């Protein structure tokens, strides 16, 4: 089986990185479709337009509100197509970046991503998630290639509330363990190929960086001021995590996000928070005796990640909901990347042990 490794063509990170937007946009043409959420447009829209205008690029804003549903995607694609856009620029959180990917895929245009939070690794990846009007996950779809350019302005990211940073820690810390399960059990990565050793090494480095710097970095979140630890952690949460999962593969921790939303109260939890708990469940099922799970539990306590379903937001622990969660999880592609075939009862039992 062939191995595959994918990545963005270029990645820039640091305070002021957003100031490079106009210069790079001009490389791709003169008209850009800006896919952006409403709040971020109010804060940064004027600056983004000025940066592009100074470089001869006209920016046409397509504002996203609410979940990314098929109807919303169709509307955005229609608007972007009518503009005759030469490129797509996606600015904001995960939903806005995913919307930009859907538009770029439809138009066959270059994509520039500009994240304003570090809550997940969407900026570097080619995949995007569609939901229905009730916030149920419908599908994970993919661009043919990763974003062409990623601009991570850490001065902007540092203004986001700490909750989003915590979610980013939770989403990223799992990648080492999920990639290892994928590789060990003949799984496929996001390129439908065998994972590479390079991806595993990156995922390992991601976890090591977060365990070393995550707590100190969290102290800077929401302050608007960066620090060396913050810079290292953001790089781990966006770049290392993104490369590690796409080229390394996923396992139970991410598969659980298919089912956790069926537990009352948990549907409101951010993706990274769900993944954080999912990792604990995965390590429980692995029956590890190397002290890693205990080390992570201690780290979770220091950085504020959920260790139980109650801490994740569950308002009740209902056996029928746990069973439904387990059933939906095991239907996810990534659930097969495990040493043994799990049953619904076994997974529901592991969830019960994490009820709190």
Decide the pairing of beta strands 87-92 and 58-64.
Answer: unpaired
97 labelled binding-site residue: yes
> Distance between CA atoms of 180 and 177, rounded to whole angstroms?
5
132 labelled binding-site residue: no
**What are the start-end ranges of the H helices in the chain?**
21-28, 38-53, 70-83, 94-107, 154-157, 162-173, 175-184, 197-220, 228-235, 241-248, 252-255, 271-286, 292-303, 309-312, 319-330, 344-353
117 labelled binding-site residue: yes
193 labelled binding-site residue: no
260 labelled binding-site residue: no
254 labelled binding-site residue: yes
125 labelled binding-site residue: yes
94 labelled binding-site residue: yes
31's enclosing H/E stretch is strand 31-37
110 labelled binding-site residue: no
118 labelled binding-site residue: yes
67 labelled binding-site residue: no
171 labelled binding-site residue: yes
153 labelled binding-site residue: no
Positive or negative: CA dihedral 221, 199, 6, 104: negative
Q: 3-state DSSP call for residue 240?
A: helix
> Distance between CA atoms of 284 and 144, rounded to whole angstroms?
35
96 labelled binding-site residue: yes
> Distance between CA atoms of 124 and 350, rounded to whole angstroms?
32
Which residues participate in the annotated binding site? 37, 94-98, 116-119, 121, 125, 131, 171, 254, 271
Which residues participate in the annotated binding site for NAD(+)? 37, 94-98, 116-119, 125, 131
Which residues participate in the annotated binding site for glycerol? 121, 171, 254, 271
């Amino acid at each position: 089986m062939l191995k595959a490794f994918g990545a963005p063509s270029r990645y820039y990170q640091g305070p002021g990185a957003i100031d490079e937007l106009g210069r790079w946009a001009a490389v791709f043409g003169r008209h850009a479709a800006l896919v952006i959420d409403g709040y971020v447009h109010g804060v940064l829209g004027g600056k983004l337009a000025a940066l592009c205008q100074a470089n001869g690029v006209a920016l046409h804003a397509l504002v996203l509100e609410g979940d990314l549903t098929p109807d919303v995607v169709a509307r955005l694609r229609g608007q972007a197509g009518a503009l005759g856009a030469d490129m797509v620029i996606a600015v904001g959180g995960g939903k806005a970046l995913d919307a930009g990917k859907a538009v770029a895929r439809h138009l066959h245009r270059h994509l520039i991503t500009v994240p304003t939070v570090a809550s997940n690794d969407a900026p570097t990846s080619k995949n995007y998630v569609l939901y229905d009007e009730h916030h149920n996950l419908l599908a994970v779809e993919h661009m043919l290639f990763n974003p062409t350019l990623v601009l991570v302005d850490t001065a902007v990211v540092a203004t986001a509330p700490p909750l989003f940073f915590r979610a980013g820690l939770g989403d990223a810390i799992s990648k080492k363990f999920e990639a290892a399960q994928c590789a060990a059990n003949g799984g496929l990565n996001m390129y439908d190929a065998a994972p590479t050793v390079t991806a595993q090494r990156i995922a390992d480095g991601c976890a090591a960086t977060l365990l070393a710097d995550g707590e100190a970095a969290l102290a800077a979140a929401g302050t608007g001021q960066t620090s060396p630890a913050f810079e290292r952690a953001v790089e781990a949460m966006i770049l290392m995590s993104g490369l590690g999962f796409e080229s390394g593969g996923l396992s139970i921790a991410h598969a659980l996000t298919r089912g956790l939303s069926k537990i009352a109260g948990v549907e409101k939890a951010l993706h990274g928070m769900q993944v954080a708990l999912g990792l604990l469940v995965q390590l429980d099922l692995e029956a590890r005796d190397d002290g890693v799970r205990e080390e992570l539990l201690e780290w979770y306590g220091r950085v504020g990640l959920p260790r139980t379903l109650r801490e994740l937001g569950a308002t009740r622990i209902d056996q029928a909901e746990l069973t439904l969660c387990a059933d939906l999880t095991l239907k996810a592609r990534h659930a097969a990347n495990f040493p043994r075939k799990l049953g619904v009862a076994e997974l529901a039992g592991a969830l019960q042990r994490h009820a709190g």
